[in-house]
Amino acid sequence: MTWECAECHAIENREIRIDGVCHHCGKLLCRADQEVIPDLAFAAAVGEIGSEAVHCRSCKRRHHMRIDVSLGTSGQ
């Protein structure tokens, strides 16, 4: 069976390894398209950093990109 990267559609061969799976959506990923980040879902206790998890780009944006917005009252 031939593996194909779900992001760039590269076919696995001697130079290209398809050895990652997005832990949110299950896409097969080559090494170049893997977004590896620490994931709190794998933490041993609340507040600890967990093991690293592989993500595709869209799942990383959807589940792990946080924007800090100040919600305080202005001028007070």
pLDDT tens-place string over residues 24-69: 999 999 999 999 988 777 777 776 666 789 999 999 989 877 654 4
Domain that holds residue 28: 18-64
Tell whether the model's pLDDT for residue 73 goes beyond 80.
no
Asked whether residue 13 is assigned to any structural domain, the reply reads: no
Asked whether residue 7 is assigned to any structural domain, the reply reads: no
Asked whether residue 1 is assigned to any structural domain, the reply reads: no
Asked whether residue 30 is assigned to any structural domain, the reply reads: yes
Please give the tally of structural domains in the chain. Answer: 1
Q: What is the predicted pLDDT for the residue at 75?
A: 47
Asked whether residue 74 is assigned to any structural domain, the reply reads: no
Token code pair at residue 55: 């993500």
Collapsing DSSP to helix, strand or coil, 28 comes out as: strand
Q: What is the predicted pLDDT for the residue at 17?
A: 94
Nearest Cα residue to 13 out of 33, 31, 34:
31
